[in-house]
Amino acid sequence: MASNFQCMRALKYLLVYIVPGLVWLSLHLASLASWSTLLVVFGVIPVLERLLPASTRNLSAAEEEVARTDRTYDLLLYLLVPVQYLLLFYFIRQQSLPDLPFAARLGMTTAFGIACGVLGINAAHELGHRKTRFEQGLSKALLLSTLYMHFFIEHNRGHHDKVSTEQDPASSRFGEPLYPFLIRSISGGWVSAWKLEKVRLQRAGQPVWSLQNEMLRFQLIQVLFASGIAWMAGFPTFWYYLLSALIGWLLLETVNYIEHYGLRRIKTNHRYERTLPIHSWNSNHPIGRLLLLELSRHSDHHFQADRKYQLLRHFDESPQMPTGYPGMMLLALIPPLWFQVMNPRVDALKSRPQGNALA
């Protein structure tokens, strides 16, 4: 009975498959209805998350021990890899249909772009923190589907080390609008990944300009992959694929923007304090938590990066977003409204006992 209950607890994460299901439907309809994924993710879900209560409940020690060893959580995650590639191939097939209206093609592009963000990058993010070569290989395969493989290097070795500091391109600054941040984070993350690989190879006594350089390998693999799509599907479909990949990048970087806005770690004697739960914005809103594999419990993720998604905890001291991720991302698109909502929250955090950790 207990094992059945634990299995049912794990299966709530089947909700993560709502997004690929919506994407498949948008691709299948190949019409104005192809915009349905965008409308649900950034229309219906933000409304529901404003209406549904957020839960701060954490697993008990006994529940956590069971969840840690339950392979159901891992299998649900692994299956997202073939699902993403099936969606990619279906996207190419549907975009290759003749006489489709431009609005339908663009709707399908936004739908697959959301898949690139939710599966191609977010699920890859979870897998990239795992320790096995198999799981890290799955992470790289997902990132390949959206041409963002450098994220594997930069996020794990760069962002988690420098988060909530001026040295991290993916940590937004107080008063910084979203749009310049996107340029800074995308370009800065790519450059940082090259630098991190250079340092790694120099320390190992290996040549930088060789296939030992994983960043160089990533670029070659992505060029071959994208060229294969262009050769197989033709350039019109190829450009729509590139636009979908770009949408995936922008979704990721917008999430980065909302996750650390205005939060800073103290620097003492040329060293930053340890990353704490107060250095990331947290969201306990239920739909986003399930659809994004608990990404919105971001405070615990940065506090202890090797915790699997099903184990992430709420901390009372973590700064809390007023709504879930989709709603916060929409808010960030309008900088004056974003500053009106978020700047007072950052200022209020400064008055806490731990507020000296905030810029």
Residues of the chain scoring pLDDT < 70: 1-8, 352-359
Q: DSSP of 33-91, one letter per residue?
A: GGGHHHHIIIIIHHHHHHHSPP------HHHHHHHHH-HHHHHHHHTHHHHHHHHHHHH
Residue span of the structural domain in which 141 resides: 2-52+66-357
Question: What gap in Å lies between CA 198 and CA 255, rounded to an integer?
Answer: 28
Instruction: Please report whether residue 255 resides in a domain.
Output: yes
pLDDT the model gives residue 11: 82
| C-alpha to C-alpha distances, 239 to 99, 127, 226, 234, 287, nearest whole angstrom | 17, 28, 10, 9, 32
Instruction: Please report whether residue 59 resides in a domain.
Output: no
Question: What gap in Å lies between CA 162 and CA 152, rounded to an integer?
Answer: 15
Q: What are phi and psi of 107, to 5 degrees?
A: -60, -45
Question: What gap in Å lies between CA 8 and CA 12, rounded to an integer?
Answer: 7
Contact between residue 329 and residue 172 where contact means Cβ atoms under 8 Å apart: no
CB count in 10 Å sphere of residue 88: 21
Q: What is the pLDDT of residues 31-65, one digit of tens each?
A: 999 999 999 999 999 999 999 888 899 999 999 99
pLDDT the model gives residue 205: 93
pLDDT the model gives residue 270: 82
pLDDT the model gives residue 356: 41
Instruction: Please report whether residue 112 resides in a domain.
Output: yes
Instruction: Please report whether residue 57 resides in a domain.
Output: no
| C-alpha to C-alpha distances, 243 to 111, 150, 288, 303, nearest whole angstrom | 11, 18, 24, 34
Contact between residue 185 and residue 192 where contact means Cβ atoms under 8 Å apart: no
Question: What gap in Å lies between CA 298 and CA 318, rounded to an integer?
Answer: 9
pLDDT the model gives residue 353: 58
CB count in 10 Å sphere of residue 15: 13
Token output for 152: 């594997």
Question: What gap in Å lies between CA 108 and CA 95, rounded to an integer?
Answer: 8
Instruction: Please report whether residue 94 resides in a domain.
Output: yes
Residue that the structure tokens 């909530």 belong to = 164
Of residues 98, 99, 112, the one with CA closest to residue 27: 112
E strands, the chain, in order: 267-268, 271-272
pLDDT the model gives residue 137: 97
Q: What are phi and psi of 100, to 5 degrees?
A: -80, 140
pLDDT the model gives residue 166: 93
Q: What pTM did the predictor assign?
A: 0.94
Number of domains forming the structure of the chain: 1
Query: Which residues does 180 contact at the CB level (< 8 Å), separation at least 6?
Result: none
pLDDT the model gives residue 359: 40
pLDDT the model gives residue 236: 94
Q: What is the pLDDT of residues 137-160, one digit of tens each?
A: 999 999 999 999 999 999 999 999
Instruction: Please report whether residue 58 resides in a domain.
Output: no
